[in-house]
Amino acid sequence: MTIDPSRRENLLKAKLRGLVRSRWASALTTARDGGLPGGAALLAGDTAWALGEDEPGRSLGPALAWARKNGASQLHLLVAADAGTLARRAGRFSMPTTVWQIVGTELAEVDPEPLPPEPPLAEGADAFRGLLERAGTDPVVEHGILRGEILGLEVARIVDDEHGVHLEVGVGKHDREAHKEARGTSQGLDALFEVVRTVAEYRRPGKEGHEAFHLAPERWLRTVVMHKPELVDAEPGSLEPVSSPVFRSDLRRPAPAPLRGTTTAGRPLLVVCSVGLDLDVMSGTADAYEADGREPELVLCIPASDAYPAIRDLAALHVPPARVVTVPSDWRSL
């Protein structure tokens, strides 16, 4: 049964008030409700409370943005999942934020979880790098998986499973499954070339009518920046893609796309690319910064049309602050 959106919004506000009452009952006498996509928010004095209901793991950025916009100087984030990850990321922002785990009708303060290590590449996987290059893809290692990309869109990956280390082609999980059904695990250059030709045809300006044009736009921007380092004042040839801090199984979902390199002045540099209004981009960027380990200069690279005040505010809240660099709206043509 589908709940009317306005009724659900009221239910979430009531849930948040009930949880806040369990620890800060006196605050409710002056608290005012606020709207938060997929949750609810409250403000009393300079303190904000936010309920991350629908997507707890992506609730930190929107909660910080709401708290900042409404004049809060501290935030309590209440979630039923991903609390340890959120506590770690929250520690990278100048606004004091406490993350609470929802346990029934009670709240438990959560300690930050350590950043998980990057999984190693499967033994034998790197031998496929030449094959991916011959097919015209960019080999990218992410989350321990070697992938072949066309302008940031994955078209193949090297898989290590019960069949051994082998190539799987396709755009996204469902496309890979379809190719596997048709060809089994013996997919080679012919299958890869077929997918590469199809994606390359539509992964270019003027092909907005095809789905391949719209998938993973932040990774497309990352490829543009990697080949045009002057956009972010990077040393030519120094930029290389690193794992996104956000693991995603759906190519339609946004995720920060980082590059590491050096500035033209020789300083360590971390560039995070994002396209569209992703209020959680700086939350993921916090993990990318920690994983870098060099205390780099931090740049958030976005199209000029996406440089919303809320995004700039979140970039400024990160410690250290991220410098926002914009690219023109026709960046796909660069």
186 has a pLDDT exceeding 90: no
Structure tokens at 229: 């380092």
d(CA 206, CA 144) in angstroms, rounded, equals: 34
In angstroms, how far is CA 323 from the centroid of its own chain?
18
297-312 pLDDT, tens digit each: 999 999 999 999 999 9
pTM for this prediction: 0.93
Quickly state the pLDDT bin for 200 (edges 50, 70, 90). very high
Percent above pLDDT 70 for the chain:
96
| pLDDT score at 178 | 66
163 has a pLDDT exceeding 90: no
Give me the count of residues in the chain.
334
30-59 pLDDT, tens digit each: 999 998 999 999 999 999 999 999 999 999
Mean pLDDT of 161-171: 88
Quickly state the pLDDT bin for 179 (edges 50, 70, 90). low
| pLDDT score at 183 | 63
185 has a pLDDT exceeding 70: no
The phi, psi pair for 301, rounded to 5°, reads -105, 120
Rg of the Cα atoms in the chain: 22
Helix, strand, coil percentages (3-state) for the chain, rounded to 5, are: 40, 25, 35
128-139 pLDDT, tens digit each: 999 999 999 999
204 has a pLDDT exceeding 80: yes
Residue linked to tokens 């994002």:
274
217-268 pLDDT, tens digit each: 999 999 999 999 999 999 999 999 999 998 877 778 899 999 999 999 999 9
Pick the residue with more confidence: 180 or 328? 328
Q: How far is CA 188 from CA 111, 129, 168, 307, 319, in A?
A: 47, 13, 8, 42, 46
Residue linked to tokens 């993990």:
287
| pLDDT score at 173 | 75
| pLDDT score at 243 | 95
| pLDDT score at 151 | 96
Helix or strand run (H / E) with residue 283: helix 281-292
E-strand ranges in the chain read 32-36, 39-44, 47-52, 74-79, 97-103, 106-109, 138-142, 145-150, 153-161, 164-169, 240-241, 257-262, 268-273, 297-303, 323-327
Mean pLDDT of 2-23: 91
68-113 pLDDT, tens digit each: 999 999 999 999 999 999 999 999 999 999 999 999 999 999 999 9
